[in-house]
Amino acid sequence: MRRARPLLESLVAVGIGLIAGGALMLPFRYHPLKAYQALFQGAFGTPHDVMETLAFATPLMLTAVTFAVGVRAGLFNIGAEGQMYIGAIGAVFAASLLPLPPGLHILVATLVAMICGALWSLVPALLKIWRGVHEVISTIMFNWIAFHLATYLAIYYLAEPGRAERTRPALPTARYPILAEGSTLTAVIFVAILFCLAVYFLLWGTRMGYEMRLVGENPEAARYAGVQIGQALLWSFLIGGMAAGLAGASQIIGRPPAWSLYATLGNVATLGFDGIGVALVGRNHPLGGILAAILFGALQHGGRFMEYHAGVVSELVRAVNGLIVITLAIPELWTLVRRRLTL
Amino acid sequence: MSGFLSRLGWIVLAILGLGLLAYGLDQVGLEPISLLEAGLLAMTPLALAAVGECVNEKAGVVNIGLEGILLITAVVGVWVAEQFGSGIAGLIGGMVVGALIGLVLGLLAVYGRADQIIAGMGLNLFALGFTPYLLMSLWAFPGIHIFPRELMVPRWITPLGQISPVTLAAILLAFLAHILLHHTVLGFRIRAVGEKPEAVDVAGVRVDGLRLFTSVLGGALCGLGGAFMPLAWFGGVVKEISAGRGFIALACVVFAGLEPLLALAAAFLFGLTEGIAYAVAITPGVKERIPFYFVNMLPYVVTLLVVTLVIGRRRFPRTIGRPYTRE
Amino acid sequence: MGPRIEMRGIHKVYPDGTVALRGVDFRLGPGEIVGLLGENGAGKTTLMKILSGLLQPTRGEIRIDGRPVRFRNPADALRAGIGMVHQIFTLVPPYTALENIILGQEGSNLWLVKDRARDQVQRLLEEVGLSIPLDTPMELLPIGVQQRVEIAKVLYRGTQTLILDEPTSALTPLEVDELFRFLRRLKEGGRSIVFITHKLREVLEISDRIVVLRNGRVTGEISTREATPELLAEWMVGRAVVPRVSRSPHPPGEPVLIVRDLEVIGDLGLPAVKGVSFEVRAGEIFGIAGVEGNGQSELAQALGGLRPIHRGEILLDGKPLPALTPIEAYRRGIAHIPEDRLRFGMALNFEVAENSILSRQWEPTFLRGWGRLDWPRILAFTAALLQRFQVIAPGVRAPARSLSGGNQQKLVVGRELAKEPRLILAVHPTRGLDVASTAYIRELLVQMRDAGKAVLLISADLDEVLELSDRIAVMYEGKFLGVGPVEAFTREEIGLMMGGIVPQGRAV
Ligand SMILES: Nc1ncnc2c1ncn2[C@@H]1O[C@H](COP(=O)(O)OP(=O)(O)O)[C@@H](O)[C@H]1O
Ligand SMILES: [Mg+2]
């Protein structure tokens, strides 16, 4: 029961989000039921669709980890977006410009992306620890700086010769193997899941994770327990940055057909923000995040189908994401729902 | 009060620094007047959002969904303007919708005891998807909409250059907010409710009413700022029109330690930065040398720098962000 | 003349399901002081919050002068002349006394003109005989003055019925006497008063009639003239006597802790501990009495490694301690039962097992290679801890929030005692606990003393200090005003020292 309740709450929130999203279709004379039918058919209709859904889920479970690790340590780290841009740039650089043997190349490109993401989280972390600058402000500013920096680098240094709209593609040696013919799902999903598992283990199975969570639960008790609070916060930021960097890499060296970064950053943009909703639905738990990511991956992949068949702009899915988050913010809702259920 | 002065000092220093920069730009062919104009325009939405949020946070309610309100009201403002054939109507429309969003957030915070940070972020995420959805559904064109020129709210021409009446309104509102907070009974109670809602409650004044009021007020001002962007500034609306301004406004609030006049000053500083960025980006001779992308980073870098340098000992209301319950 | 106020069959269930009141009748006549007595959690506060309109009863009715009324909020109750001084003050800390008093009744609707109300406030203060500096922010005033502001605030609204919730808990004995004189004056002026407390002595002194609550029910009601402490105690805790811890005479050993001329800086940047020297010997309990806020917290935090030492020296077993961290303090044999378990001592959302190693999470005993937590060992340790210290918990993996307050505190105390320390730092170890847990924890401390540990007890509860300590000190404004064997002081002398007055013939 203790474990079932959060799951139930998340499902109710998703339900409410979808219903409210349906209500948003009505003024424009779309048909909600038809749209959602198309959406779910698009998401899970064929094995191919299921794989696409998983491909969409991959970066989301990682950016969700960024947010979740932050919340666990008492931070509201919404910098996944920018850290992911920089991670993607790192991946493009390592994957397209470094000639390395197969196997090693994948490893290096992945690590470079993760390190880039972590480095991009370092400044907000230090500002928080040294100056007490609130991470909501610093990470958002860093997101925008990253946006302009990544665009600049993509256009001026990493652009594919003759094609301004995107960067050089990853060399074949740096690409994660595709899991099925015609699908965009690659082996990078295993790396992502592994990362989530590792963070889960870190949080609940190690002293470092214990101390991070203690700082999040009760900073004064953490001080009493001899925890170095700054260090715990720093790790939370860095691990989050690594997750976001990996998410960026997953879209470059783990996602055909482009294997590159669009100059508009269109193939990574908003994945970091989407991760916030994913994390909250996943109850800020790395494993819950995997499940929630699959749900949101389904919404995103199915959203395209919905746009095609029901004419509803797929971005509505993102609005639904926001509605779900708002719903999850209201504890009173649960009391109400519980009362209804027990009556 | 010394905190106020030292913060004011920082702003003056920063503005002087920017002035120096402007002088340098002038040397390479930039016009200071156009810089001031651009700065005031860029200040306006920041100031409106920040001033409202100052009052709101004084009452102990945090709205980090300013960005979302700016986005939504920008689109709605244009739509209303087109319906009524008047830019002013669009501004009012933006204000009304902003107030409604503020009301919803306020209700969630006061009666739903919502986590205000998460709810506000949810609003931002919602707007991120809802804005393009609206653009597409209203005008069947993805990502951008240009409306007829006649709908633009006209600027007033003064000897010192052009100024939008909305900018003047924003400045006036900052002063009014200051007077409200420090010289009226309502403000006396608003400040008290942020510090100790119990005190207000046992004194027989309704905590929920005060907080709903500030939430709606903050939303309305922010909504005016949102509608201002397309209708009195850009002449069109794009899906990411506010580009982080909601968060820069939050930085202004933090920086100002919740004082509306300081928030206005901070908004002017950031606006000027944006004006410089804009000026640099269009000035021949300069734009070729400094990549446009770096210029674009300027407002964000300055925001971060200023907040880092002056963060010091701000005092926030004790119950900020926390719901009040009797039981 | 019948009772002015009557509460009948009041039930209260909190939203989280806690049943606080189970059918309480309560009445109050004009010009009467009623003592509302009961131990922690009995429901006293809840009952009076209902009468003052802050809470709504789940069931039951309130009548005034025979007419049923419904208070939807405190404003309604104020209009009926009922006002409450809460245990946790409802003052706006940065506001001045004047501002706090007039809040909600500013005397105008638009512009704030504070001076219009000033005369009126001054007249009221003169009339009832309260002296308050009107223009100092509350956060700079001592608790005693804050309480007067709180009372003035309620009276300013024309209150005829004044409710005071545990008003003496933060006052020195002298201030208590002054408060009592003031309350008697109010009574003579025709006002009625409800005086909430859990202290028998006080209720016997001030009230005309006593109502005892236990577990949400009235267990007894009596005119004060006929009441005896024994009877009241039985009504209060359901037993004839409150168990007293027996403390056998015991020869103290070598000094374990020596503190010399210690100075510690408080949160405001000013010295909070101003040159204190003392020692605690093996096998003795050294108690520090005093009104809270006189530097006790800072002293404890310094000894626990949570606050740097500004000047002076701390020696443990004869060796000077370096700049302490909490971990270093533990390594050297100091266990710290912190003053507020919810704030410092535990994480409510952590499991019981996680809380049982809080502050020991770095110890190799609980770790395997690579900084991994050794869960099997932690769980076994927790299970043993729960058993040894009689902690009742749904399980070792249940969240700590599912434990009752008494069991939470037993968990914290047990965790600290299990460290096998040389010195035990116990700060307000039984505050807010039920009688059984209180008795158990006091007994543990005495056991530790008998086992040859040094115990430093800091408590605002004078009775606790007197009952447990071998030697005591009274702390006032960062200094010790008297140190010596507990037998050397009378209660009255200690009371005076708590108020900063050193009785004649008592040098420091
Ligand atoms: N806000 C609350 N929510 C839930 N339970 C509460 C709340 N306040 C008090 N209680 C519970 O109600 C009971 C009575 O509390 P209270 O009236 O404060 O007792 P007293 O003032 O006699 O110590 C206790 O069991 C307490 O834990
Ligand atoms: Mg009480």
C131 and C210 within one domain: yes
In this complex, do A224 and C347 lie within 8 Å of one another by their Cβ atoms? no
Residues with Cβ < 8 Å from C218, sequence gap 6 or more?
C24, C25, C26, C211, C212
Which residue type is seen at C205? E
Within-domain flag for C52: yes
Q: Which of A207, A213, A226 sits opposite C325 (nearest CB)?
A: A226
pLDDT at B82 over 60: yes
Beta bridge partners of C64: C5, C67
Q: Rounded to the nearest 10 degrees, how much is the dihedral formed by the CA atoms of B36, B38, B41, B43?
A: -70
% pLDDT > 70, chain C: 97
Selected residue of B83, B111, B300, B310 to mutate for chain A interface (largest A Cβ count, 10 A): B300
Give dist(CA C226, CA B60) in Å, integer.
Answer: 51
Within-domain flag for C506: no
Measured from the CA of B327, which atom of ligand 1 is nearest?
1
C269 and C166 within one domain: no
CB A239 within 8 A of CB A80: no
> What pLDDT sits at residue B321?
80
Nearest to C397 by CA among C425, C424, C376, C413: C376
Question: How many cross-chain Cβ pairs, A to B, lie less than 8 Å apart?
Answer: 149
Instruction: Give the residue from chain A lying closest to B111, CA to CA.
Output: A332
- Weakest-pLDDT range from A189-193, B209-213, C70-74: C70-74
> What pLDDT sits at residue C16?
77
Q: Compare B215 and C201 and report the one with higher pLDDT.
A: B215
Within-domain flag for C184: yes
Give dist(CA B227, CA C172) in Å, integer.
Answer: 61
C224 and C102 within one domain: yes
DSSP letters of B61-104?
A: ---TTHHHHHHHHHHHHHHHHHHHT-HHHHHHHHHHHHHHHHHH
> What pLDDT sits at residue C239?
63
Can you tell me the mean pLDDT for B127-148? 90
**3-state per-residue secondary structure call for C252-274:** CCCEEEEEEEEEEECCCCCEEEE
CB A81 within 8 A of CB A272: yes
Q: Which of A205, A211, A224 sits opposite C345 (nearest CB)?
A: A224
> What pLDDT sits at residue B30?
66
Structural domain boundaries, residue A58: 5-342
- Helix, strand or coil for residue C205? helix
Within-domain flag for C437: no
CB B200 within 8 A of CB B192: yes
Q: Which of A127, A320, A325 sits opposite B308 (nearest CB)?
A: A127
Exposure b/e, B165-195, CB count within 10 A at least 16 = b: ebbebbbebbeebbebbeebbbbbbbbbbbb
DSSP letters of A53-102?
A: HHHHHHHHHHHHHHHHHHHHTT-----HHHHHHHHHHHHHHHHHH----T
- Helix, strand or coil for residue A258? coil
Touching B (3+ Cβ pairs <8 A), the chains are A, C
> What pLDDT sits at residue C412?
97
Question: Which DSSP letter does residue A29 get?
Answer: T
- Weakest-pLDDT range from A233-237, A269-273, B62-66, C175-179: C175-179
% pLDDT > 90, chain C: 61
Touching A (3+ Cβ pairs <8 A), the chains are B, C
B111 close to C (CB below 8 A): no
C113 and C24 within one domain: yes
Can you tell me the mean pLDDT for B99-113? 94
The ipTM (two decimal places) reads 0.89
- Weakest-pLDDT range from A307-311, B17-21, B212-216: B17-21
B206 close to C (CB below 8 A): yes
Q: What is the pLDDT of residues A244-296, one digit of tens each?
A: 999 999 999 999 988 999 999 999 999 999 999 999 999 999 999 999 999 99
pLDDT at A302 over 50: yes
What do you get for the CA distance between the two ends of chain B, in Å?
37
Average pLDDT, chain B: 88
Q: What is the pLDDT of residues C203-230, one digit of tens each?
A: 999 999 999 998 899 999 999 999 888 8
How far is the alpha carbon of A156 from chain B, nearest alpha carbon, in Å? 10
Give dist(CA A8, CA A10) in Å, integer.
Answer: 5
Q: Which of A205, A221, A226 sits opposite C327 (nearest CB)?
A: A226
Within-domain flag for C432: no
Q: Which residues of C touch B196 (CB under 8 A)?
A: 90-93
pLDDT at B52 over 80: yes
pLDDT at C507 over 80: no
> What pLDDT sits at residue A338?
60
C93 close to B (CB below 8 A): yes
In this complex, do C105 and B203 lie within 8 Å of one another by their Cβ atoms? yes
pLDDT at B1 over 50: no
pLDDT at A92 over 90: yes
> What pLDDT sits at residue B310?
73
Within-domain flag for C491: yes
Average pLDDT, chain C: 89
- Of all ligands present, the nearest one to the C-alpha of C39 is 1
Can you tell me the mean pLDDT for C138-145? 85
Beta bridge partners of C212: C37, C220
CA angle A56, A59, A61 (to 5 degrees): 100
Residue having the nearest C-alpha atom to atom 4 of ligand 1: C14
In this complex, do B201 and C14 lie within 8 Å of one another by their Cβ atoms? no
Give dist(CA A241, CA A113) in Å, integer.
Answer: 10
Selected residue of A210, A211, A223, A336 to mutate for chain C interface (largest C Cβ count, 10 A): A210
C214 and C118 within one domain: yes
Can you tell me the mean pLDDT for A210-237? 96
Question: How many cross-chain Cβ pairs, B to C, lie less than 8 Å apart?
Answer: 73
> What pLDDT sits at residue A99?
92
Burial group, residue C452, by CB count within 10 angstroms (0-12, 13-18, 19+): middle
pLDDT at A339 over 70: no
In this complex, do B118 and A318 lie within 8 Å of one another by their Cβ atoms? no
Can you tell me the mean pLDDT for C171-196? 89
Pocket test for ligand 1, best of C46, C163, C165, C197 (most atoms within 8 A of CB): C46
Are β-strands C33-37 and C209-214 bridged in parallel, bridged antiparallel, or unpaired?
Answer: parallel
Within-domain flag for C345: yes
- Weakest-pLDDT range from B12-21, B232-241, C119-128, C433-442: B12-21
Q: Which of C181, C203, C237 is the last residue of a domain?
A: C237
Give dist(CA A275, CA A290) in Å, integer.
Answer: 11
Instruction: Tell me the two tokens of residue B176.
Output: 């009014």
Within-domain flag for C136: yes
Half-sphere exposure of C453 (CA within 13 A, CB side): 24
- Weakest-pLDDT range from A293-307, C184-198, C237-251: C237-251
C21 and C79 within one domain: yes
A224 close to C (CB below 8 A): yes
Q: pLDDT category, B95, cuts 50, 70, 90?
A: very high
Within-domain flag for B327: no
pLDDT at B123 over 90: yes
Find the CATH number of the domain harbouring C456: 3.40.50.300
> What pLDDT sits at residue A96?
94
pLDDT at C417 over 90: yes
Sheet with strand C59-64: strands edge to edge: C19-28, C5-13, C59-64, C67-69
Q: What is the pLDDT of residues A144-199, one digit of tens each?
A: 999 999 999 999 899 988 888 899 999 999 999 999 988 999 999 999 999 999 99
Based on the structure, what is the number of domains in chain A? 1
Structural domain boundaries, residue C342: 338-420
Integer CA distances (angstroms), B266 to B130, B258, C169, C246, in order = 30, 11, 47, 66
Q: Compare A314 and B175 and report the one with higher pLDDT.
A: B175
CB C35 within 8 A of CB C195: yes
Within-domain flag for B75: yes
CB B221 within 8 A of CB B48: yes
Q: pLDDT category, C129, cuts 50, 70, 90?
A: confident
Exposure b/e, A240-260, CB count within 10 A at least 16 = b: bbbbbbbbbbbbbbbbbebbb
Within-domain flag for B247: yes
Q: Is C20 in the pocket of ligand 1 (CB under 6 A)?
A: yes
Q: Which residues of B touch C108 (CB under 8 A)?
A: 185
Nearest to A336 by CA among A17, A10, A9, A15: A9
Pocket test for ligand 1, best of C7, C11, C18, C215 (most atoms within 8 A of CB): C18
- Of all ligands present, the nearest one to the C-alpha of C20 is 1
pLDDT at C242 over 70: no
- Of all ligands present, the nearest one to the C-alpha of C10 is 1
C158 close to B (CB below 8 A): no
> What pLDDT sits at residue A309?
85
> What pLDDT sits at residue C141?
85
Q: Is C44 in the pocket of ligand 1 (CB under 6 A)?
A: yes
Most confident of B4-13, B229-238, B281-290, C168-177: B229-238
Instruction: Give the residue from chain A lying closest to C302, CA to CA.
Output: A224
Give dist(CA C411, CA C341) in Å, integer.
Answer: 10
Give dist(CA A124, CA A150) in Å, integer.
Answer: 18
Q: How many CB atoms lie within 10 A of CB C102?
A: 24
Integer CA distances (angstroms), C113 to B78, B203, B206, B226, C106, in order = 43, 18, 21, 36, 8
Q: Is C18 in the pocket of ligand 1 (CB under 6 A)?
A: yes
Give dist(CA C456, CA B309) in Å, integer.
Answer: 44
Give dist(CA C441, CA A68) in Å, integer.
Answer: 39
Based on the structure, what is the number of domains in chain C? 3
A81 close to C (CB below 8 A): no
> What pLDDT sits at residue C97?
93
**Which regions of C290-378 does DSSP assign to beta strands (E)?**
311-316, 319-320, 334-337, 367-368, 372-373
> What pLDDT sits at residue C506?
59
Question: Which DSSP letter does residue C214 get?
Answer: E
> What pLDDT sits at residue A153?
94
Measured from the CA of C44, which atom of ligand 1 is nearest?
22
Q: pLDDT category, C310, cuts 50, 70, 90?
A: very high
C395 and C282 within one domain: no
C174 and C31 within one domain: yes
C291 and C144 within one domain: no
Residue having the nearest C-alpha atom to atom 14 of ligand 1: C43
Structural domain boundaries, residue B270: 2-146+157-309
Q: What is the pLDDT of residues C251-271, one digit of tens each?
A: 778 999 999 999 999 987 889
> What pLDDT sits at residue A343?
40
Find the CATH number of the domain harbouring B162: 1.10.3470
- Weakest-pLDDT range from A290-294, A310-314, C425-429: A310-314
- Weakest-pLDDT range from A28-32, B105-109, B178-182: A28-32
Q: Rounded to the nearest 10 degrees, how much is the dihedral formed by the CA atoms of B21, B25, B30, B33?
A: 20
Find the CATH number of the domain harbouring A273: 1.10.3470
How far is the alpha carbon of A37 from chain C, nearest alpha carbon, in Å? 40
Average pLDDT, chain A: 92
C215 and C106 within one domain: yes
Sheet with strand C209-214: strands edge to edge: C82-85, C161-165, C192-197, C33-37, C209-214, C217-223
